[in-house]
Structure 1
Amino acid sequence: MKNKKLKIAFFGSSLVSAYWNGAATYYRGIVRALSERGHEITFYEPDAYDRQKNRDMDDPDWAKVVVYEATEEAVAKCLQEAASADMVVKASGVGVFDELLEREVLQLQTEERLVVFWDVDAPATLDRVHNNPDDQFHQLIPQYDMILTYGGGDPVVNAYEALGARKCVPIYNALDTATHYPVAPDPKFACDLAFLGNRLPDREARVEEFFLNPAAATPDKRFMIGGSGWGDKPMADNVTYIGHVYTKDHNAFNCTPKAVLNISRESMARYGFSPATRVFEAAGAGACIITDYWEGIDFFFEPGKEILVARSGAEVNEIISNLSEENAKEIGEAAYRKVLSAHTYSHRAAELEKLLYTKVKQSNAAWA
């Protein structure tokens, strides 16, 4: 029998604004790809953190966006509406009423309706739970039909299963070919090495090590940093801080510099198998990527040919000092070929669809 197209209710931080919302491009990629496969998605997001004032896209035609007030009453109304869905997703890090949503979405669970927790920051969630035995999430994990994560590999899967998860599956970041692709260089982003990422507590020390220290050690090179929160951070004179970079400028930001730098947050580097969305965005623009080391890199790209790997700031210095324009171009083109062949959101949506149909067929033949 033909697989049923699903009606999905998705509670996340924001689909329409990337402002203080690093998961935005991940949500957009996977939701668009699911829509293209015939599924109907309603994305519920709170009006919080000035995200609606800093939208970088209109409501898309591939999802219904419901923006709700940051009140318990508004959350309850959205949950009531979500009861008409075949699957309800609670993503991590919505930003307001997360604990309430984590509990209450489970009230919508039936034999016909899956309830899924989708963790877009599994290392942080697991660290939080492990460090607090009283965290309510301990009791909730085994109740979800499954846990999806956007990375983490076996370490995250094993950690979640040890906490009682029925099933935990990574749905990795990928390239959204509709929004990230090669464009003409923009002189305002010209530099030797660029980094894009918001200032966060478990990223800052690694940004110092892999970006700011190398910049200070190579005054003859030009560096550029984009993202929110870095305005008062001391930087060498050869570093240009450009603030929040809107999604519409990401392609030029990735295409123009000789190389772009990926710096993992500490927790993601520790768990491994957690490539940031920006790695795939940059590869999709044909950028030469330098990344800090984390276990599992070669699961996605071939080091030395499709991506360059640095284990320290000193190695970033060495790479930048020896990297020619020609070599950078070759590496960027190789990464572009790899990401198109294996790491688009169309690939991820197909994996997710297969997983969901396997799950629902086990519990409810009517989904088949």
Structure 2
Amino acid sequence: MTEQERIEQLEQEKQLLQDQLDQIKKRKEKKRSVGFWLLKKSSVPLLGIKLKKSINNAISEYKQTKTVSVDTVSDVSSNIIWRITRIGLFGLFVTLIPSVILLYQTKLVINQNKLVDNQNELIEAERRSSLVFIMDNLLSDLSEELKYKGSSERNISPVLEARIASLSRAMKPYRYEEDGELIDKKISPEKGQLLFSLIRSDLADQSYREILDASDFSYTYFKDIFLGRGVNLKYVNLNHSNLSEVNLPAANLERGELMFANLERINLSDAILKRANLTNANLVNSELLSCDFTNAKLYGADLTEADLTEATLWGTKLDDADLSDVVLDNVIVHRQDWITYVKDSLDLKGAEDIQDKYRVKKQGKQQFILVKK
């Protein structure tokens, strides 16, 4: 190979290498241009126009003067803070959307459950009401048994007594619609009808006592009704019952169970309530004139504005009771320091007003009476 040929070969190889270098350079420039284009397109939504311009101004200023002014730095910083805040608020908004949807779904579920509960209550009310037909048959049998019995022979058969007691226990309380809405607390109007029928049947004491001992009349519903004077309800279970505005003068409720009963505005004048349990009973505005509460339990009872004129509170348990505006004229108590006891030891509501209005007067060897000052 001559020298000239050798030179031409080298020139060809040089040109080949140059072409390869040019291709590599073009690819790099193309990649750089694509990356710059992507960066340019993404910088606006990511950084925002104001932040992008402030950064460009800072870079241009640095290229020209090799330094950056305080105003330019402040502009960049303020735009960065504004942008971060905006992105944070946007992120917070995006995060809140699922939470709002979840809350709305929860509300729908709660409303649906409420509708299901209401439907179940109405179904239960319909089932309980069907017991009225059974009660009707039972009262017909009761009337048939008493048809030919005199006033001194009004005892009924043990079988019928058991049927009455069983029916009272089968009548469970429920919620029913009143004025288009379900009532708040469960109650049983059917129990009230059954008890009213028994009271009016004028049964002999033996049968009446045996029925009340075996029956369950809790959650009974009575309201604004006259049950008669001197009704014998000894040992009756009327826990959680509604007897508001009922007239029961001179009733015998000795050892009766009346816990959590609603006795608002009830008339129990001259009634016997010895050893009765009226824990947490509502006796607001009730007429309790001459009532005998000897050793009765009135724990937590509300006696606001109740009239206990000439009532007997001998040994009555009054812990946590409310005696606000109660009338205690000539009430019989079992201790001379009764007013101080309910005020300082029991710390009852209304006790200070009682101390201002009344004083204790001794009457007999171990009997004391409250009289007005």
TM-score by structure 2 length?
Answer: 0.21
Q: Of the two, which has the highest radius of gyration?
A: 2
Judging by fraction of residues, say which structure has more helix: 2
Greater RCO, CA 8 A, separation 6+ = 1
TM-score by structure 1 length?
Answer: 0.22
